[in-house]
Structure 1
Amino acid sequence: MGTFFFIFFFRSFLFLLLSSSVSSSSRVFPIIPFDEGYSPLFGDHNLIIHSDSQTVHLSLDESSGSGFASHDIYLHGYFSASIKLPSDYTAGVVVAFYLSNGDMYEKNHDEIDFEFLGNIRGKDWRIQTNIYGNGSTNIGREERYGLWFDPSEDVHHYSILWTDSKIIFYVDEVPIREIKRTESMGGDFPSKPMTLYSTIWDASTWATNGGKYKVNYKYAPFVAEFSDFVLHGCAVDPIEHVTNCDNSLQTSETLPSSDVTHVEKIRMDNFRLKHMTYSYCYDKTRYKVPLPECVIDSRQAEKLRKFDPVTFGNGRHRRGKRHHHISKEAASF
Structure 2
Amino acid sequence: DEIDFEFLGNSSGQPYTVHTNVYTQGKGNREQQFRLWFDPTIAFHEYSIIWNPRRIIFMVDNIPIRVFDNNEAVGVPYPKRQPMRLYSSLWNADDWATQGGRVKTDWTKAPFTAAYRNFNANACVWPSTSCVPTKSLPNNGWMYQELDVNDLKKLKWVQKNYMIYNYC
State TM-score, norm by structure 2: 0.89
> How many Å apart are 1:275 and its aligned residue?
0.5
Of the three residues 37, 60, 63, the one matched with 1:148 is 37
Q: What stretches of structure 1 move > 2 A for 4+ residues in a row?
A: 248-257
Q: Which residue of 2 aligns with 1:69?
A: none
The DSSP-based 3-state class of the residue aligned with 2:57 is: strand
For the Cα contact (< 8 Å) 2:52–2:142, is it kept in 1? Answer: no
Q: Which residue of 1 aligns with 2:155?
A: 268
Residue pairs, 1:73-152, within 5 angstroms: 110-137=1-28, 140-152=29-41
For the Cα contact (< 8 Å) 2:15–2:39, is it kept in 1? Answer: yes
Q: Deviations over 1:186-235 (max 9, x none)?
A: 4x211121211111111121111232211101222222111111110012
Q: Deviations over 1:148-190 (max 9, x none)?
A: 110010100000000111000000000111111112244x211
Letter in 2 for 1:260: L
Residue pairs, 1:38-57, within 5 angstroms: none
* Larger relative helix fraction: 1
Q: Which residue of 2 aligns with 1:167?
A: 56
For these two proteins, the number of residue pairs brought into alignment is 163
Letter in 2 for 1:141: R
> How many Å apart are 1:127 and its aligned residue?
0.4
1:178 equivalent in alignment to 2:63? no
1:220 equivalent in alignment to 2:110? yes
> How many Å apart are 1:280 and its aligned residue?
1.2
Letter in 2 for 1:243: S
Give the distance between the partners of 1:243 and 1:233, measured in 2 at CA.
12
Can you give the 5+ residue segments of structure 2 that lack an aligned partner in the other structure? none
Give the distance between the partners of 1:185 and 1:218, measured in 2 at CA.
47
Give the distance between the partners of 2:108 and 2:65, measured in 1 at CA.
34
State TM-score, norm by structure 1: 0.46
Q: Which residue of 2 aligns with 1:191?
A: 80
The DSSP-based 3-state class of the residue aligned with 1:144 is: strand
For the Cα contact (< 8 Å) 1:118–1:124, is it kept in 2? Answer: no
1:200 equivalent in alignment to 2:90? yes
Can you give the 5+ residue segments of structure 1 that lack an aligned partner in the other structure? 1-109, 237-241, 282-333
Residue 175 to residue 256, structure 1, CA distance change in 2 (3 Å): farther
Give the distance between the partners of 2:67 and 2:16, measured in 1 at CA.
22
Give the distance between the partners of 2:105 and 2:130, measured in 1 at CA.
44
Residue 245 to residue 227, structure 1, CA distance change in 2 (3 Å): farther
Q: Which residue of 2 aligns with 1:41?
A: none
Q: Deviations over 1:208-263 (max 9, x none)?
A: 12322111012222221111111100121xxxxx22651x3398345364110001
For the Cα contact (< 8 Å) 1:128–1:145, is it kept in 2? Answer: yes
Give the distance between the partners of 1:211 and 1:266, measured in 2 at CA.
34
The DSSP-based 3-state class of the residue aligned with 1:221 is: coil
The DSSP-based 3-state class of the residue aligned with 1:194 is: coil
Q: Deviations over 1:29-72 (max 9, x none)?
A: xxxxxxxxxxxxxxxxxxxxxxxxxxxxxxxxxxxxxxxxxxxx
Task: Percent identity, please.
Answer: 36
